[in-house]
C-alpha cells in the first residue's frame, strides 16, 4: 500500500530549516530510499515517495509556519540540483502507476505555485548543479529562479532526445505559459539534451538571473529577503498538522469525518462526509482548535482518502459521495471561513479546500453524488454536488423516515472560494452556457432548497422520489460500471472542465494526455523502446511512422 501520510521526522529525502522569514527546503534524496525495489534514486532523482514528502513539506510550511514568507528550494548535493523523475522507476512502473505518479507530482507543483500566488509564501529556486527534466520542472514552479553561473550548472528538459517522452510535469506548458519562452526557442531547448546555462538561460527567460559562485549565498539570501518583504503573510504562531487518524480494514477506511466503504464487486467506493457538530465561536477559537477544526480536518481526511483510492484501489471505477449531518452546521463553518477570510489560517484552510476539491475534479473515477434525507450538502460540501459527473437527489420523504426531506444549500463560498483549474467556480463552470442560471443561483444563497427547487434551478441532475430512488440509483451505478473505464476517463475529463483554458488545464488536459499516450506507445515502452532501453547504452528502435 502506498501511504501518502508522512511528517518531517520521517523524511528521507528533504530537509527543512528556518531562519526568520526564510525557510530552506533542501532536496537531498537518499539513493536507497526508493518507494519500490529495483532502482536507486541517484543524483537527486525522485519517485512518488520523494514527492509525497515534498507535498507534505509544502503543506506544513503553509500551516505550521506563518512566519515563513520565502521558501528557498535548493539541492543538498554537489553538482546536481535534481535529475528529475527516476528513469528506471518509470521503466519498471505500470502504466497506471506512471499516470498516478505524474498526476500527483503535477498537483504538488501546483500547490507550490498556489502558495506563492495566494499565501504570501513565495518559492525561490536556487539552482546549483544541473536541473534536468523534472528537476527543472520543479524549479520552474518557483516565482524566482536563480542559476549559479559556474559554467557547469545548467537547466534542461532532455526528455525528448534522451527518453523519447515529454517534460510532462508541466515542463512544456510552463515554458510557454509561465516563463513566456518563445515557442521556437522552447523547441530548441526541449530537443537539446545538455540544456542551457549562463547568460543564455536568462536571455531565453529559462531562469531569472545567473549569479557567480563567489556571490551565490549572499545573493540568494538577498533575493529571499526581498521576496519576503513583498509578502502579506502576517501570522506568528502556526498550527500543528497532527497526523490524520484512520483505520483501514478490508472494505472500509474510517476517519473522524470521512468514511469510505468499498464494494469491490460493484467497483464502487462510497465516501460519506460527516458534517460538523461543534464549531468554535470565533477566530481565536479556530486557532485554538487548529487541525481539529472541521473544515480543515475534513479536507485533510478527504484528501488522504482520494489519494489512497487513486493509488491503492485501481479497480474501483465509481466514487459515490454522500453526507450525513446538519446543513446548518456546515453553513456555520462556511460563515466562519467567510467572516475571517483575511486571517492567514482561515485563508490557508480555504485554499486547502480549494486544492482538495481540485483533486476531486482530477480523480479519474466516475463521481456520483447522492443527496438524500439526513445529508448535509451545504455550501462547501455542495461543491461535491457540482464536482460530480451526476448528482441525484431524493425528493420528498421516505415512509417512516422522520428526518425530513433532503435539502441543498448554497453559500457565498460556492461562488468565490473554490475555483477549478479553469479559473471558474464549479457553479460558473456548470452554468457556462446559462449566465442567468448563475445569477439566479447567487440569489439562492442561504435558502433551503428541496429536490424540486434544486432540479428546477439546474443544481442537480435528477430528482427521484421514494418509488424510483433505489432502482434509479442502482441503474446509474450498474450502467456506469459496465462502460469502458478508459472511455469514461476521457469523457469525464472533457466534460468536467468547460470553457477557458488555463496553464493548469493545459497541463492536465493537453500535456498529460499526450504524455499518457506516449507512455502507451511502443516507442517508449516497447521492448526496444526508449524507457526499456534507457541506461543499457543500446539505442531504442523507433517506429518511424508519425501517427
Partner 1 sequence: MPEASQIDYNGLIPNNVGLAEDLRVRKALETWHPGYIDWWKSMGPEGFQNSPVYLRTAVGVGSEGWAKFGFVRMPEYRWGILLAPQVEGRTIPFGAHKGEPAWQEVPGEYRAMLRRLLVIQGDTEPASVEQQRHLGATAPSLYDMRNLFQVNVEEGRHLWAMVYLLQKYFGRDGREEAGELLRRRSGDQDSPRMLGAFNEQTPDWLSFFMFTFFTDRDGKMQLAALAQSGFDPLSRTCRFMLTEEAHHMFVGETGVARVIQRTAEAMKAAGIDDPYDIERVRALGVIDLPTIQKKANLHFSLTLDLFGNEISTNAANAFNAGLKGRYREDKLTDDHQLTSSVYPVLRLRDGTIVNEDVPALSALNMRLRDDYVEDAATGVGRWNRVLERAGMAFRMILPHVAFNRRIGEFSAIHTDTDGNILSSEAWHARRESMLPSTDDNLFIASLMRTSRQPGSYAGWIAPPRQGIDNMPGDFEYVRISD
Round to whole Å and give the CA distance between 436 and 306.
34
Specify the residue, 193 or 326, whose C-beta has the smaller distance to partner 1: 193
Q: Does 28 bind partner 1 (CB under 8 A)?
A: no
Specify the residue, 96 or 212, whose C-beta has the smaller distance to partner 1: 212
In whole angstroms, the minimum distance from the beta carbon of 151 to partner 1 comes to: 5
In whole angstroms, the minimum distance from the beta carbon of 547 to partner 1 comes to: 22
Kindly tell me which residue out of 433, 537, 546, 547 binds partner 1, with binding defined by CB under 8 A. Answer: 537
Q: Give one DSSP letter per residue of 255-268, joined into a string.
A: -SSEEEEEETTTTE
Residue corresponding to grid cell 479536507: 299
Contact 502, 423 (CB under 8 A): yes
Specify the residue, 390 or 532, whose C-beta has the smaller distance to partner 1: 532
**From residue 30 to residue 59, what is the string marking binding to partner 1 with x (rule CB under 8 A)?**
------------x-----------------
φ, ψ (nearest 5 deg) of residue 363:
-85, 125
In whole angstroms, the minimum distance from the beta carbon of 193 to partner 1 comes to: 5
Q: For residue 387, what is the enclosing H or E element?
A: helix 383-387
Q: Does 500 bind partner 1 (CB under 8 A)?
A: no
Round to whole Å and give the CA distance between 383 and 459.
11
Contacts of partner 1 in 131-150 (CB under 8 A):
149-150
**From residue 197 to residue 216, what is the string marking binding to partner 1 with x (rule CB under 8 A)?**
---------------xxx--
Kindly tell me which residue out of 249, 539, 545, 546 binds partner 1, with binding defined by CB under 8 A. Answer: 539
Taking each helix axis from N to C end, the angle separating 95-118 and 48-64, rounded to the nearest 10 degrees, works out to 20
**Binding residues with partner 1: total (CB under 8 A):** 18
Q: CA 12, 34, 207, 512 torsion: positive or negative?
A: negative
| Beta strands 252-254 and 390-395, pairing class | unpaired
Specify the residue, 514 or 542, whose C-beta has the smaller distance to partner 1: 542
Q: Does 400 bind partner 1 (CB under 8 A)?
A: no
Residue corresponding to grid cell 447567487: 442
Specify the residue, 236 or 536, whose C-beta has the smaller distance to partner 1: 536
Angstrom CA distances, 502 to 48, 420, 506, 509, stand at: 26, 10, 6, 10
Contact 289, 333 (CB under 8 A): no
Q: Which of 151, 143, 157 is nearest to 197 (CA)?
A: 151
Residue corresponding to grid cell 498550527: 239
Specify the residue, 15 or 246, whose C-beta has the smaller distance to partner 1: 15
**From residue 154 to residue 193, what is the string marking binding to partner 1 with x (rule CB under 8 A)?**
-------x------------------------------xx
Q: Does 152 bind partner 1 (CB under 8 A)?
A: yes
- Interacting residues toward partner 1 by CB under 8 A: 42, 149-152, 161, 192-194, 212-214, 534-539
Amino acid at each position: 500500500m502506498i501511504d501518502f501520510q508522512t511528517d518531517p521526522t520521517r523524511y528521507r529525502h528533504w530537509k527543512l530549516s528556518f531562519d526568520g522569514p526564510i525557510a530552506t527546503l533542501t532536496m537531498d534524496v537518499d539513493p536507497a530510499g526508493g518507494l519500490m525495489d529495483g532502482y536507486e534514486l541517484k543524483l537527486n532523482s525522485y519517485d512518488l515517495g520523494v514527492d509525497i514528502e515534498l507535498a507534505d513539506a509544502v503543506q506544513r510550511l503553509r500551516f505550521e509556519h506563518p512566519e515563513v514568507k520565502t521558501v528557498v528550494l535548493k539541492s543538498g548535493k554537489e553538482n546536481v540540483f535534481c535529475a528529475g523523475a527516476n528513469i528506471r522507476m518509470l521503466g519498471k512502473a505500470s502504466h497506471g502507476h506512471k499516470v498516478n505518479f505524474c498526476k500527483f507530482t503535477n498537483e504538488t507543483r501546483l500547490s507550490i505555485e498556489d502558495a506563492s500566488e495566494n499565501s504570501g509564501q513565495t518559492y525561490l529556486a536556487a539552482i546549483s548543479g544541473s536541473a534536468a527534466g523534472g528537476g527543472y520542472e520543479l524549479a520552474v514552479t518557483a516565482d524566482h529562479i536563480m542559476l549559479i553561473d559556474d559554467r557547469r550548472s545548467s537547466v534542461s528538459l532532455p526528455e525528448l532526445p534522451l527518453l523519447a517522452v515529454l517534460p510532462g510535469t508541466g515542463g512544456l506548458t510552463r515554458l510557454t505559459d509561465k516563463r513566456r519562452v518563445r515557442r521556437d526557442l522552447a523547441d530548441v531547448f526541449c530537443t537539446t539534451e545538455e540544456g542551457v546555462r549562463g547568460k543564455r538561460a536568462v536571455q531565453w527567460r529559462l531562469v531569472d538571473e545567473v549569479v557567480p559562485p563567489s556571490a551565490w549565498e549572499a545573493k540568494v539570501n538577498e533575493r529571499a529577503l526581498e521576496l519576503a518583504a513583498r509578502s502579506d503573510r502576517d501570522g506568528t504562531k502556526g498550527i500543528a498538522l497532527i497526523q490524520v487518524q484512520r483505520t483501514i480494514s478490508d472494505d472500509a477506511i474510517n476517519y473522524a469525518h470521512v468514511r469510505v466503504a468499498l464494494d469491490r464487486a460493484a467497483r464502487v467506493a462510497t465516501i460519506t462526509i460527516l458534517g460538523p457538530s461543534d464549531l468554535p465561536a470565533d477566530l481565536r477559537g479556530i486557532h485554538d482548535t487548529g487541525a481539529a477544526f472541521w473544515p480543515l480536518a475534513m479536507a485533510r481526511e478527504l484528501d488522504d482518502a482520494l489519494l489512497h483510492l487513486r493509488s491503492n484501489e485501481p479497480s474501483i471505477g465509481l466514487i459515490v459521495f454522500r453526507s450525513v449531518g446538519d446543513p446548518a452546521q456546515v453553513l456555520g463553518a462556511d460563515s466562519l471561513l467567510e467572516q475571517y477570510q483575511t486571517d492567514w489560517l482561515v485563508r490557508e484552510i480555504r485554499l486547502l479546500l480549494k486544492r482538495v476539491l481540485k483533486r476531486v475534479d482530477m480523480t479519474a473515477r466516475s463521481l456520483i453524488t447522492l443527496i438524500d434525507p439526513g445529508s448535509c450538502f451545504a455550501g462547501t460540501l455542495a461543491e461535491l454536488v457540482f464536482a460530480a459527473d451526476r448528482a441525484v437527489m431524493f425528493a420528498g420523504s421516505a415512509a417512516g423516515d422522520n428526518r425530513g426531506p433532503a435539502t441543498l444549500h448554497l453559500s457565498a463560498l460556492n461562488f468565490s472560494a473554490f475555483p477549478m483549474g479553469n479559473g471558474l467556480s464549479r457553479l460558473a463552470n456548470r452554468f457556462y452556457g446559462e449566465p442567468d442560471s448563475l445569477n439566479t443561483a447567487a440569489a439562492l444563497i442561504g435558502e433551503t432548497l428541496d429536490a424540486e427547487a434544486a432540479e428546477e434551478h439546474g443544481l442537480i441532475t435528477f430528482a427521484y422520489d421514494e418509488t424510483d430512488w433505489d432502482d434509479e440509483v442502482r441503474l446509474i451505478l450498474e450502467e456506469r460500471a459496465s462502460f469502458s473505464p478508459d472511455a469514461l476517463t476521457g469523457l469525464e475529463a472533457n466534460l468536467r472542465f468547460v470553457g477557458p483554458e488555463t496553464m493548469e488545464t493545459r497541463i492536465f488536459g493537453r500535456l498529460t494526455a499526450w504524455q499518457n499516450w506516449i507512455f502507451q506507445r511502443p516507442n517508449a515502452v516497447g521492448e526496444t523502446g526508449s524507457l526499456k532501453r534507457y541506461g543499457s547504452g543500446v539505442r531504442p528502435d523507433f517506429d518511424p511512422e508519425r501517427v
